[in-house]
Amino acid sequence: MRLSLNTATVKRATLAEAARLCADNGITGIGPWRDAVDAAGGPKAARALLDSYGLTVTSLCRGGFFTSPGGEEDTRRAVEEAATLGTGELVLVVGGLPAGTKNLPAARQTVADAIERLVPVAARHGVRLAIEPLHPMFCADRAVMSTLSQVLDLAERFAPHEVGVVVDTYHVWWDPELFSQLARARGRISCYQVCDWILPLPEDMLLGRGHVGDGHIDFAPITQAVLDAGYHGFAEVEIFNQSIWDTPPSETVSTITSRWQKTFP
Amino acid sequence: MRLSLNTATVKRATLAEAARLCADNGITGIGPWRDAVDAAGGPKAARALLDSYGLTVTSLCRGGFFTSPGGEEDTRRAVEEAATLGTGELVLVVGGLPAGTKNLPAARQTVADAIERLVPVAARHGVRLAIEPLHPMFCADRAVMSTLSQVLDLAERFAPHEVGVVVDTYHVWWDPELFSQLARARGRISCYQVCDWILPLPEDMLLGRGHVGDGHIDFAPITQAVLDAGYHGFAEVEIFNQSIWDTPPSETVSTITSRWQKTFP
């Protein structure tokens, strides 16, 4: 499996710097966030930049937040940006409970309804809606969809090229149904993201992710199951961690590369 | 549904103080932790104390940690303590990954093997092993069993009076299968624990629980589903939260009582 650098891992770097670091380290894929694309002059300019380094754009992060005002409209723009950027996978974080509400089934229905409306839009652009189940600890504030099983239930209402799933080790490693659901996801794995579960979690639980190998996740069997499900794409390293963000990006990318070689020999 | 005070909610109070606060507030159940029982002179003395207040002992917290050295032996002692204390429900937190390991399926097997050995021991004492699925964010360090479905798969290998499940809203509220699994749990719900999911989580994620009504959980449908599953026991209020621990116990118990009346009218 080839390696891809998600730009969130090197938050301080510009897209140009991230692309050069990829090239310097033999990394052939990149997964940009939209803010990095914007800062690089928009998706057209970003595509030219990434093309100049021969990088495959493995996904665009992200659309979604359908339970907040404006989320669906913003996701329509993200679909166009993904198409312009040359990636067929738009990562979606579906959103948490609407402010002031506690009705989880209703929030999930809001998400399903938005996806249904977006599928034809995305399909016209050749972009797959790649729904990411987030760790259950983000259920209230970020994603009312927490498991692969739950996302596949929704995705399977559509064609495999229309709606896929993001498998992020951080979010799914604990799931007792992980391996059966990965097998079920055949043809629908849009993106495989890796980072490790480290303890203790920091005060901002969003930022508690670690370099592959620093935590509790057993990556080899998960990666094998992703491969067995017919996934031929990249492993995208996406790590939210303040101390990693405070590290020089060149050092971070070097660590990523060596960890990768060690963990997936 | 009647109310029970889990002693962890009023960590600063002695068992005698907690029992008196129950009596003062019309609470008829109590769920002690073993340290509170020890400090009260052991299970026999604790039972006499709680009997003198006419309190039903709704559970004993806790045994388990089968993936750590000594966990199984300690749980055998906890079985005896539960029997002496006069409760038929011993809450089990199964334990996380053994130190230095990452093999989640193996850890789960270790738990299943220990349960199998303990069932006849507990049955002889008239005690049910009440397995608690913990929120997936505790998978690495506290409980390799995260969902009701997973725990029921194990529990159903035994008779309903031998192995039950603990339903704690904090741990299960996010689960897309919550309602179907509660229905499946008929006859096996050992204990219904309530507290709320509040954000942000504190640095010690164990202590991020809130009073019922302060967070994001919609309690009424969950309580109704627990009742519909034939559960006739108490709702045990168990809240781990430093600021609640820093509050005078009398104030905490008063808040619990009023929240209860408001949330389950």
Give residue for tokens 């009218």.
B265
> Tokens for A92?
């979606």
Tokens of A115: 């996806």
A205 Cβ under 8 Å from any chain B Cβ:
yes
Q: Do B145 and A176 touch (CB under 8 A)?
A: yes
Average pLDDT, chain A: 96
- Residue range A223-233, pLDDT digits in tens: 999 999 999 99
Closest-CA distance of chain A to residue B105, Å: 9
pLDDT score for B265? 63
Task: Tell me which amino acid residue B66 is.
Answer: F
Query: Quick one: which of B46, B48, B19 has its CA closest to B34?
Result: B46
Residues of chain A with pLDDT > 70, as a percent, come to 100
Distance CA A170, CA A132 (A): 11
Residue type, A93: V
Tokens of A145: 């969809």
A70-84 pLDDT per residue, tens:
999 999 999 999 999
Q: Is A216 on the interface with B (CB under 8 A)?
A: yes
Q: At CB < 8 A and 24+ separation, what contacts does A68-76 make?
A: A68/A95, A68/A98, A68/A99, A71/A95, A71/A114, A72/A114, A72/A117, A72/A118, A75/A114, A75/A118, A76/A118, A76/A121
First to last CA, chain A: 10
**Buried/exposed code over A36-47 (b: 16+ C-beta within 10 A; e: otherwise):** bbeebeebeebb
- Give the DSSP H or E segment for B44: helix B43-52
CA-CA distance, A134 to A171, in Å (whole number)?
Answer: 5
Distance CA B261, CA A66 (A): 34
Q: Do B176 and A97 touch (CB under 8 A)?
A: no
Which of B97, B200, B204 is nearest residue A216 as measured by Cβ atoms?
B97
Q: What is the pLDDT of residue B64?
A: 98
pLDDT of residue A149: 98
Compute the distance between CA of residue A81 and CA of residue A72 in angstroms, rounded to an integer. Answer: 14
Is B174 in Cβ contact with A102 (below 8 Å)?
no
Contacting residues for A100 by C-beta, under 8 A, at least 6 apart:
none
Report yes or no: A259 and A235 within 8 Å, Cβ to Cβ.
no
Is B218's CB within 8 Å of A102's CB?
yes
Asked if B218 has any chain A CB less than 8 Å from its own CB, the reply is yes
Q: Given CB atoms, is A102 within the 8 Å cutoff of chain B?
A: yes
pLDDT digits (tens, 9 = 90+) for A41-97: 999 999 999 999 999 999 999 999 999 999 999 999 999 999 999 999 999 999 999
Q: How many CB pairs under 8 A join A and B?
A: 79
CB contact residues (below 8 A), chain A span 24-43, against chain B: none
Measured distance CA(A182)–CA(A214) in Å, rounded: 24
Are A174 and B104 inside 8 Å of each other by CB?
Answer: yes
- Model pLDDT, residue B82: 98
Which amino acid, one-letter code, is at B20?
Answer: R
A92 bridge partner residues: A63, A131
Looking at the complex, does the CB of residue B97 fall below 8 Å from at least one CB of chain A? Answer: yes
Decide if B99 touches A, using CB distance below 8 A: no
Nearest C-alpha in A relative to B96: A216
Tokens of B233: 């026991």
Cβ contact (<8 Å) for B174 and A104?
Answer: yes
Minimal CA separation from B148 to chain A, in Å = 11
CA-to-CA distance for B227 and A189, rounded, in angstroms?
39
For residues A215 and B234, give the distance between their C-alpha atoms in angstroms, rounded to a whole number.
39
- Cβ–Cβ contact B217 with A under 8 A: yes
CA A70 to chain centre: 21
**From the list A104, A150, A203, which residue is nearest B200 (CB)?**
A203
What pLDDT sits at residue A217?
Answer: 97
Q: Which residues of A touch B199 (CB under 8 A)?
A: 140-141
pLDDT-derived band of residue A204, with 50, 70 and 90 as boundaries?
confident
Q: Is A107 on the interface with B (CB under 8 A)?
A: no
* Segment A192-198 mean pLDDT: 97
Q: Does A220 touch chain B (CB under 8 A)?
A: no
- The two beta strands, B209-210 and B196-197, are antiparallel
Contacts with A201 from chain B: Cβ below 8 Å: 137, 201, 203, 205
DSSP A23-70: HHTT--EEE-BHHHHHHTTSHHHHHHHHHHTT-EE--EEEEE-TTSTT
DSSP-assigned states of every residue in B69-90:
TTHHHHHHHHHHHHHHHT-SEE
A265 interfacial to chain B (CB closer than 8 Å): no
User: Which tokens sit at A129?
Assistant: 């809606």
Rounded-to-integer distance, Cα B65 and Cα A48, Å? 55
Task: List chain B residues with CB under 8 Å of A197.
Answer: 139-140
Tokens of B185: 């749990």
Distance CA B24, CA B251 (A): 12
Cα B212 to Cα A102: distance, rounded to the nearest angstrom: 13
Low-confidence ranges of chain B (pLDDT < 70): 265
Of B140, B147, B202, the CB nearest to A216: B140
> With an 8 Å Cβ cutoff, are A203 and B204 in contact?
no
Nearest CB to A146; choose among B104, B176, B203: B176
- B237 three-class SS: strand
Determine the 3-state secondary structure of A224 from DSSP: helix
pLDDT at B201: 84
Kindly report, residue by residue over A129-151, the tens digit of the pLDDT. Answer: 999 999 999 999 999 999 999 99
Flag whether the pTM goes above 0.90.
yes
A82: which 2 tokens?
């993904």
Q: Which residue has the tokens 């380290």?
A: A25
A137:B173 CB<8 A: no
The number of residues making up chain A comes to: 265
The C-alpha atoms of residue B38 and residue A165 are separated, in whole angstroms, by: 50
Measured CA to CA, the distance from residue B109 to residue A241 in angstroms comes to: 33
d(CA A91, CA A17): 23
B232 touches chain A (CB under 8 A): no
Q: What is the ipTM of this complex?
A: 0.95
Helices (H) and strands (E) in chain B, counts: 11, 11
